[in-house]
Structure 1
Amino acid sequence: MSDIPQFTSHYIDQHIGAQLRAFRKLRGLSQQQLGQVLGVTFQQIQKYESGSNRLSSGKLYILHQVLDVPLIDFFEGLEKKDQQKTELAIETAELVQCYRDISSYEKRRIILSLLKAMV
């Protein structure tokens, strides 16, 4: 069991939570009002919206009905985020390989300093 990664806040949960917040605000509902519909506290709605707590499929289905939003809209844009993560991983691997291929310690330190300054 220790080999299974544990996620406290996954980017998918954060994305769905951000979508929930946007849809709730578009409908002019407070977190308290939405919580009453779902039978949870406004604090729980805050946790859903931040992505720190996951929405169950049942609650997500209720939200789609209450907010009058197609279910797929909660996932809108995830493909783009997945693509960006893949591109970043490839770029990172290329960068690391190039860095490793530099034989000069001094040149590596200069490049590292430059990268840190850019960030």
Structure 2
Amino acid sequence: MEIPSKKPNPIDVEVGRRIRMRRGLLGLSQTTLADSLGITFQQVQKYEKGTNRVGASRLQAIAEFLQTSVSFFFEGQETIGTDTENMHGREITDFISTAEGLSLNRSFVRIQDPDVRRKIVGLVKVLGSTAADQDAFEGPATAPT
């Protein structure tokens, strides 16, 4: 008899990602959120990983503490795992949930000059592109004559 694996449900994982993202954007620690809910920070970790499901009343309390609506945690989840556009949404959520993503986002929104912002986006695109991407963008490299 085969024992079924206990993989987290993709919806639970996405709700957890959004909890982590919102908590990070507000600059709150897992301990701060946990204390406000009367639970341990380990339980918050399990929610954020999708290991444990968040009950409805607990999700409502989390939403209130994180100053958002419950629907925020479910936006775009009708097609989880089937839509390429939704995959990019998860990539963004994953990135913003990292320390680097959060720091970059906070710093970027403080830049007031739209030209500077566009130049930074351009720089990041160049730094993040592969050689094939650059060839397609700039055309094939030619030898100096």
Is TM (by shorter chain) over 0.5?
A: yes
Runs (5+) with no aligned partner, structure 1: 86-119
Larger fraction in helix = 1
Whole-Å separation in 2 of the counterparts to 1:72 and 1:62: 13
Per-residue CA distance 1:62-97 (angstroms, 9 max, x = gap):
111111111111001212425439xxxxxxxxxxxx
Instruction: Name the counterpart of 1:50.
Output: 49
Instruction: Name the counterpart of 1:23.
Output: 22
Runs (5+) with no aligned partner, structure 2: 85-145
Whole-Å separation in 2 of the counterparts to 1:41 and 1:34: 9
Instruction: Name the counterpart of 2:12.
Output: 13
2:40 alignment partner AA: T
Whole-Å separation in 2 of the counterparts to 1:82 and 1:63: 25
Change (3 A) 1:78 1:28: same
What is the correspondence of 1:79-118 to structure 2 with a 5 Å cutoff? 79-81=78-80, 83-84=82-83
How many equivalent pairs are there? 81
Query: Structure 2 length normalisation: TM-score?
Result: 0.51
Query: Structure 1 length normalisation: TM-score?
Result: 0.62
Contact 2:10 2:80 in 1 (8 A): no
Instruction: Name the counterpart of 1:111.
Output: none
